[in-house]
Structure formats: C-alpha cells, structure tokens
Homo-oligomer: A and B are copies of this chain.
Amino acid sequence: MAKVAVLGFGTVGSGVYEIIRDKSFIKTAGEEIDVKYLLDIRDFDNDEIKPYLTKDFNDIINDDEITVVAEVMGGLHPAYEFTKQLLQKGVSVVTSNKELVATYGPELLELAKENNALYMFEASVGGGIPVIRPMTICTKANDIKKIAGILNGTTNYILNEMFAKGKDFESALSDAQAKGYAEKNPAADVEGHDACRKLAILSSMAWGRFVDYNKIPTEGICNITLEDVKYAEAQNCVIKLIGYADVDAEGKIYASVSPMLVSKDMIISSVCDVFNAVSVTGDSLGEAMFYGRGAGKLPTASAVVADIIDCVRHSDSKPHNIEWEVTDEDIMQNYECKKHTYFVRCADTKENIKKYFDNAEFVEIKDNELGFTAADIAENEFRAALENVNSPIAVFKRL
C-alpha cells in the first residue's frame, strides 16, 4: 500500500482525493494507493476527509511512510520550499503547478535525480490531456521541429464565442466568468501569461534546454474586436491564441504567444469551447496533435493521479529521462530577423502600401479601410515598412 499526501485541497486536490478514493482499480504491481494526508490551511466541515486533514507540512515530511506527494496548491511559495524538502528526502513529487515548473523546473528535476526521486508534471500543461508523456516519446525518435498549441481554455472559449456567436470581447469574457471558465481577475488568462508558462514547459521538453518564460514575447486577446473577426472570416480563418515555438539549424529556439490567424484548413482551427490542443511536428513523425480538456477538476486530477501511479510503479528504478539544460549561452533566436506572415488592417491606399510591401495581398470588406497580407518578411523589416503605412489599426501574425 503506497501512502500519498496531497498538498492543497482546492479544486484539483479534491479531484485527486476523489479519484484515488473511487477507483478501486488503481493498483500497480500489486500495490494499492491510498491518501494519508490532505494539507490545507483552511478548515473544512467534511467528516469524510477529517482523518486526513493537516495544516502542518511537518506531519508529511516527517512521515517515512509517504513515498509520493501531489503538489496541487499552486503559486510559487511555499510550493517551492515544500517540493524541495520532499525531493531532498527522496520523496517523489507530482504537480499541476505550471508556474513552479516553468520557474524552478531545472533545479527541481536535478534535485529529483540526485535523490533518486521523480518530479513529474503531466497536469501542468493541457490539464488531463496526455501531452508531456507523448512529447517525451516523440522526442526519443524525432527531432522536434515545431510546436503550436492552444494552451488556454478560457481564451479559446472567449474567441470561440466571438466567432460563433458574434459576441464582443467584453461580453464573451463576462459569459466565461459567469460559467466559471474565467477568474474574476482574468489577467493571467486573457493576457496570455498562463499560455506563456505552458509554452515554456513544452519548449523545454522539446529541446531539452530550459526556456525562461520571461523571454517569451506574450500578447493577449484583450484588443481583438468583431472587426478583426470579420477580416479573419473573409480569409477563411479564425483567430486563436497560439503558443508557437520552433528551432533553427543551430538549435536556437523561437517561442511566442500571440493571437494568430489560423486557416480553417488546419485541424487546430477546429479546437472549440474550452478545449486545448498541442500540435507537435517531428522530423520522422510529421505532425501529431493531442487534444482535450485543458482544465477542470477531474481532467486535471486524472493527470495528477496518472503521475502518482507512475511514481509508485517506478519506486525501484527511476526513469530520469527529462533533463533541462541551463546554460549561459543565449539559446533564443534573434527575434528581429525571424520571418512571419503578417496581416495588417489600416486606413491607407493600395498604392502607398505597395510602395513598402510590394507583394501585399489585399482584403477589402469595409469602407475607408484596407486589410493586407505581407508574406514571409522579417520582423524588423516589417516594423520598419509599417512605419510608412497610414493609420495601422491591427496587426496579426499568421500561423
């Protein structure tokens, strides 16, 4: 019988507790899994969980029966200190805490290895969707070329409402908040920070080098209007908040989070509602995509439990196949020179635009405004040319 402690009895924590309680089939190599502690500073009026509740982390760290801990409390502190103490003791830790993984991943992975423990984080990206493990598999027999993901369910829901129902951003956001999909303070979602941390984790997985999320340019969806929606539709596109990353021939990484125009011919454009998807392109595999519910109590908890089971199953031999190299070397590409295809809305004439973007293709759907596409142009050249365009209204990259 493996004894588990759960740090944080919030949404995910209670889901983890319920799945372990209800799934009698959770047996691995003859070992059953049982929850021994639920750590939370809050009081709960619930007789069932009373025997497990504690407010004192020392109960857990001092109990040698505990071999696996699920850290689902979120936030950097004290999650970081708790995780460190546990790994140093040789206790495996599984987590849904993307902020912690994106911030202290290399140190915690190294600490796990040193102490013959595991640090696993399937639930930190894509909620319940198996993403981290398939990525690990893909990276074994493939050079990963690029990643494109819809990594945040809240923003995908909002954009989907704007496209499918013609709601503007504000009313789609209110609707998402009313449904519990968006927080009262929605900044982390709508400004792209949540997606940015997940992209940092995926990029680190893909290329084995720690990608600092602070270095990922991140743009949210707050400024998207129903006019933008019309222009997208006129081009057989939708707008999705995309976490995109690729690698160049020298192994340098490009990563960014931004709302992008996505052709309806691409399957990722069909990811609706609060769903997430991660598309990975490998040199042998071609494109593969993993799709599912990126958040929610039970989906996320099921990924945490899968990690717990793996830790128990590997209690003898630890498969340390994840290492994130940290170097002083600049591992990121020169973003200034990175080529993109841009779509611009502006109040200018075709003649003037053509002077600076000679291959511009135009989209006209309203008076006194023009849309144009500039294909395959370096960011710095694009920005310089755009200086000459009158009244630019909106700029999107195209996936």
Q: Which residues of A contact B (CB under 8 A)?
A: 15, 19, 23, 25-26, 28, 122, 128-130, 133-134, 137-138, 140-143, 265, 267, 269-272, 275, 282-293, 296, 298-299, 301-303, 305-306, 309, 313-314, 316-317, 319, 321
Q: Are B28 and A137 in contact (CB under 8 A)?
A: no
Known contacts A130-B138, A267-B271; A285 and B291 CB within 8 A of each other: no
Known contacts A130-B138, A137-B133, A313-B321; A293 and B287 CB within 8 A of each other: yes
Q: Are A284 and B267 in contact (CB under 8 A)?
A: no
Q: Are B128 and A286 in contact (CB under 8 A)?
A: yes
Neighbour of A19 across the interface among B141, B287, B309, B321, CB < 8 A: B141
Q: Say how many copies of this protein the assembly contains.
A: 2
Q: Which 6 A-B pairs have the closest CB atoms?
A: A288-B292, A284-B302, A141-B305, A130-B134, A141-B302, A289-B291
Q: Are A284 and B270 in contact (CB under 8 A)?
A: no
Bound-state CA distance A179–B129 (Å) is 34
Q: Are A285 and B292 in contact (CB under 8 A)?
A: yes
Interface contacts beyond A142-B302, A285-B302, A313-B319: sample of 15 additional A-B pairs, CB < 8 Å, sorted by A: A23-B141, A26-B140, A128-B284, A128-B286, A129-B285, A130-B130, A133-B133, A133-B137, A137-B306, A141-B302, A141-B306, A284-B305, A286-B299, A287-B292, A289-B290
Q: Are B306 and A291 in contact (CB under 8 A)?
A: no
Q: Are B140 and A309 in contact (CB under 8 A)?
A: yes
Known contacts A270-B267, A284-B298, A286-B128; A140 and B292 CB within 8 A of each other: no
Bound-state CA distance A142–B311 (Å) is 17
